[in-house]
Structure 1
């Protein structure tokens, strides 16, 4: 339970902030949490508009269908552990090798199967330990690839199958992105197979029945093709102030650009001066897939991708609890 992970914060008259004393949590294990929490509190004190998260988003995090996070709770109590590959001391996972540390067995980490391939273009100056892109690679290893800029795949020949998630004046919604992809598609790619020759209809009733059947067949074919049109989604992993160089790269020009305008971030490192619709990388991936599932696949969402927030939601709740104890929310 979260009560066992609560952090008691003692406020003292220090120039820069907050001191922690532990209850049942190893002090080494709190290092990352302290740093993140300190930055968040200081940022919120300077910008009161960012002090609260929308209740809708908070409710979402309470209703996620997640795998058991007991393994993370145990790892939090133990503290940092070695990466099995590079032997670096890390918390939960190694953000360089994209694997869990020794105290977090791979068998206890959920694996998420995605309906689309995900490419993440990471800024070379992005701090690995602060990035949430690694969450996606850890939890959906078969469907996620991370590239470090200036390494970017060539998308030109496949731009009719790819969208770029990034806010901007020319961005469209998830629901509308397929219409824009169709403009990039060769007309022959969407041609409907000619119907087989049939005997001449002998009555109006038979003629009507035939017309309805042809119409339904065309609609079904078009619906299937629309669902399979999009194959890959590209995300940029960077601070918002560093994105200009990547987004202006000629290899990304011509891709349909999508913005998630109705979603709000819960990220504890929200950047000053940016709207709360600017999401962290893992939030953007998660929300895009949920919208894709509902709006394009037209299927009822039942938590298929919730485990993408396995690590993110754990840290979110822990930091929120610590801030609450500190009297900051």
Structure 2
């Protein structure tokens, strides 16, 4: 089922060519796992759904809610966006991934200034000291271990940095044999203290692909050496989950959301108050619509 088809779903009966109902799917969806999120009102999406599909003003494609080709809203105005994220997000999309089936576009539309999308084989050069890759694997660590692991990688680099004299400061001899900053004797210590407080993570990379197609990207030499992070305790709510894969294998937008949630809870001082919940704005609405459609189909 493509996103185009997902966007057309209504409550009511659907034939088998449009929607296949599995009793276990119905039970799982009925649990409403996305309840409790602090989301903007879905009324704007409900209204857009009643209006029907519109042409994208940029490419002319027939779309509902947003254009996944142009990364722009269609017939929808959302005051709550853009969402501000605590770190930059890069999404590397498999060239064979169908745009209409991908949830990665949700992140780009909802947080445009913090999300960059690349189509493989276009991959930036990354610094393994401040970039992580969210992808399961035997060497993957949890979100809470990121600071320690990246810190260990950058210790030598930071040590070398502080050993080098700063050209913008005058170092004078300390009577006790050390050196001080001529302008502020405590500046060096303060700089080290501030440097230690700076979180080393600057960018997070996600792969947007079916799980069966990820090998080509994950084995690319440009991603080798990046610290891998796995979201081991989260379960997917994606309606297009691949059979035979663990339910901890998340859709792209779920992975981004849960990573940021755990990052915030682990490392940011302020208590989490739904700051990134709207990343699931489209996802939760589509999940709800498909849930209702599947339930109705089961009653036909």
Q: Same fold (TM over 0.5)?
A: yes
CA distance in 1, matches of 2:229, 2:141: 5
CA distance in 1, matches of 2:253, 2:265: 19
Aligned counterpart in structure 2 of residue 9 of structure 1, from 13, 24, 42: 13
CA distance in 1, matches of 2:145, 2:254: 20
- Asked if 2 retains the 8 angstrom alpha-carbon contact of 1:54 and 1:264, the reply is no
> Which string of whole-angstrom CA distances, capped at 9 and with x for unpartnered residues, describes residues 96-119 of structure 1?
100011x213x5462100010000
- Asked if 1 retains the 8 angstrom alpha-carbon contact of 2:234 and 2:248, the reply is yes
* Equivalences for residues 1-329 of structure 1 within 5 A: 7-9=11-13, 17=16, 35=18, 38=19, 41=21, 44=22, 48=24, 52=28, 55=31, 58-59=32-33, 61-101=34-74, 103-105=75-77, 107-108=78-79, 110-155=81-126, 158-189=127-158, 221=194, 224-225=197-198, 228-327=199-298
CA apart distance, 1:9: 1.2
State TM-score, norm by structure 1: 0.74
Unaligned runs of 5+ in 1: 12-16, 19-34, 200-216
Partner of 1:214: none
CA distance in 2, matches of 1:149, 1:50: 35
- Asked if 1 retains the 8 angstrom alpha-carbon contact of 2:29 and 2:291, the reply is no
> Which string of whole-angstrom CA distances, capped at 9 and with x for unpartnered residues, describes residues 30-60 of structure 1?
xxxxx4xx25x3xx46xx48951594xx34x
- Asked if 1 retains the 8 angstrom alpha-carbon contact of 2:97 and 2:210, the reply is yes
Partner of 2:185: none
Structure with more relative contact order (C-alpha pairs < 8 Å, separation 6 or more): 2
CA apart distance, 1:183: 2.6
- Asked if 2 retains the 8 angstrom alpha-carbon contact of 1:67 and 1:110, the reply is no
Distance 1:10 1:100, change over 3 A: closer
Partner of 2:184: none
Partner of 2:183: none
- Asked if 2 retains the 8 angstrom alpha-carbon contact of 1:162 and 1:255, the reply is yes
Q: Which has the higher helix share?
A: 1
Structure 1 runs (4+) deviating above 2 angstroms are: 48-51, 107-110, 190-194, 217-223
Unaligned runs of 5+ in 2: 1-8, 164-173, 177-189
CA apart distance, 1:186: 4.1
CA distance in 2, matches of 1:10, 1:173: 41
CA apart distance, 1:71: 1.4
- Asked if 1 retains the 8 angstrom alpha-carbon contact of 2:26 and 2:294, the reply is no
Distance 1:118 1:193, change over 3 A: same
CA apart distance, 1:184: 2.0
Distance 1:10 1:104, change over 3 A: closer
